[in-house]
Structure 1
C-alpha cells in the first residue's frame, strides 16, 4: 500500500530490499575447464574433483553397456 502524499510504497521498498539482498548473495556459476577425454568419451576427472567410476552394466536387453557414475 501507499502512504497518502508521501510517495512511499511498501511494495517498492520490499522490491528494493530483495534486489539489494540478491546482489549481495549472488554467486557466479562455477566455470569448469574442459577435461581431456578418454576412451568412450568419458572425462578423466569428475567436475566435483573426484575420479569418475566407470562400470559395466548388465541388463536383459543390453549386456556390457558402459556407464559412468559421478
Structure 2
C-alpha cells in the first residue's frame, strides 16, 4: 500500500527538523569532543537532512491515491 503524500511530507519535515536541531548543536558546540559524540552528531544531522529532503521529494512527485481509486 505505501505511504500517502501527506505522510511522506510529514516524515520529510520531521527528519528535516531533527537535522536542523543537529545543525544547531554543531554550530553552537564548544569544540569539546567526549568519546566521539561530536563527530557522530555531525554525521547524523547530515544524514537526517538528506533523508528528509528525499522523503519530501518523493511525496511531491507521488501520484495521488485518488487517481487509483484507493
Q: Normalising to structure 1: TM-score of the pair? A: 0.29
Task: Point out the structure with the larger strand share.
Answer: 1
Task: Point out the structure with the larger helix share.
Answer: 2
The structure, 1 or 2, with the larger RCO (C-alpha pairs under 8 Å, 6+ apart) is 2
Q: Normalising to structure 2: TM-score of the pair? A: 0.29
Which one has a bigger Cα radius of gyration? Answer: 1
